[in-house]
Chains A and B, each alone.
Chain A
């Protein structure tokens, strides 16, 4: 409903962007334009934040009937922190995110340096391929990995005669592989930006002073692109921690991550502690944004 209202208001809101010479003439058109700009801004932020605020507020609601306020409580947080399923899922998420971030940050940074500092045949083609995992919708990547892992595990199990307990199955390992597959590209893109902004004269100066390539890289290039690498790693970590769709298709029984656990609870519509779990996930995300902002500020200084 809110959206429909906005559609009607939209063309007008858009028209006022024509009136943009900033704070200049006090014509009527400008005043109206400014009012619409303000209205649009307030509407947008209420639209963006109202659901989040509501969710957080009701995580402290005493009632089992989720949408009726009946008093303040912390019991859902208590329930959450004693739930075996939630704690296991949280631990799995953390393992997947840390391992896939480390691998993809190393591979992504190497890729970025290779792409930015060298010219070679088919560079443009590879450049395009590198962007594909970012562009291809996650559901398509998810189902193709599902098909791929099913086939690959089958081949490995039958050719090495793995049976019973030693059978290789889909699980956290396949999830980590899948997360690295999309995160390499994200890390490479972020690190390449910082390599491009970088003053190459510094590298040349180091070489002129007798440093070899490795020393130059370690003492000059690496420290200067470190904020970029950390930014890429943080992005990879967040994407891995938040990923639901690709994990959903690449995981196996017993390897539940936090988003998978939350999705299951939403679908079965059970457990009033779901608001509490969601709030904790929100707080983690916000912590990560703050961290990324701090990193960015440091890199621009």
Chain B
């Protein structure tokens, strides 16, 4: 590169890079630092080294070997994220496949219908379910009107899971559709000519070739769901807390910033591990 080009590149990249450094990377590192400090009552930190936050996070309950309330919330968040991803795949894969088979006009209309919720305010969509599932909400009003008993569904794991799947489904369908749409059907004919049955065609050709869509969709669903705050707050009523709830709580009413930071740090480490493992297996599969 000539000197002029280097200067030009510097002008292009430095404003964005500076912004991301100042307002993304440094805050992220600050959280790591905060997790090793003492708490200050009333929020904030005292600048003295302490491992209290991590001790608190990893001290088991008196009556159990490893489990404490926070570990349970960690496990629950990852388990629900996995469950949400699987349900979205089960609903989304056939849906994306169905859409990809339609004529061009129908295709673009259906994809448009999937995209509307994708662009729509998440808070509003979650509230819509609260409106339906509330104890005196639409569902129970209808049941009552029919002389049936009310179903107490709000503030239960079921309600939260419905909200999680509802919010995530478009994020699964769109990448799946993108990869299924590109699929070359002559490969299926070739395989069938060579004697492959339906199951073989699906498992050996269709699924591997649409795997990038499955991976992209799963990542897009899994990560935001683990850190969900809105859905467990609105549909779980704080009774079935996820990671987002305890994070918000520690930085809010509990005012224990070092502990909240420690939760965020462990959360990010686990997430990075998860992503690395996922992509590792993904790469393996591709090379086979």
Contact = CB atoms under 8 A, between A and B. Distances in A.
Contacts of A20: 97, 101, 185, 188, 201-202, 206
Interface residues on A, range: 35 or more
A244 interface: yes
B268 A136 contact: yes
Contacts, number: 277
A263 interface: yes
A55 B128 contact: yes
Given A147-B30, A282-B124, A137 B23 contact: no
B114 interface: yes
Contacts of B136: 65, 67
Given A22-B101, A47-B166, A143-B251, A110 B198 contact: no
A114 B123 contact: no
Contacts of B243: 139
Interface residues of B, number: 101
A146 interface: yes
A182 B16 CA distance: 11
B98 interface: yes
Interface stretch (B5-13, B50-58, B68-76): B5-13
B124 A292 contact: no
Contacts of A178: 23
Interface stretch (A7-15, A71-79, A155-163): A7-15
Interface stretch (A125-133, A193-201, A203-211, A224-232): A125-133
A177 B101 CA distance: 44
Interface in B27-75: 27-28, 30-31, 34, 43-44
Given A6-B90, A282-B124, A1 B153 contact: yes
A67 B123 contact: no
Given A3-B87, A107-B16, A266-B127, A289 B115 contact: yes
Interface string A236-270: 00100110110011000000000100110011000
A287 to B, nearest CB: 10
B279 interface: no
A185 B43 CA distance: 31
A229 B23 CA distance: 23
Interface of B: 1, 5, 8-9, 11-13, 15-17, 19-20, 23-28, 30-31, 34, 43-44, 87, 90-95, 97-99, 101, 112-125, 127-132, 134, 136-138, 140-141, 151, 153, 158, 161-162, 165-166, 169-170, 185, 188-189, 192, 198-199, 201-203, 206, 223-224, 226-230, 233-234, 243-244, 247-248, 251, 257, 260-261, 264, 267-268, 271, 275
The 4 closest A-B pairs by CB, nearest first: A137-B227, A51-B128, A10-B90, A148-B27
5 contacts: A17-B93, A21-B192, A47-B169, A144-B28, A289-B119
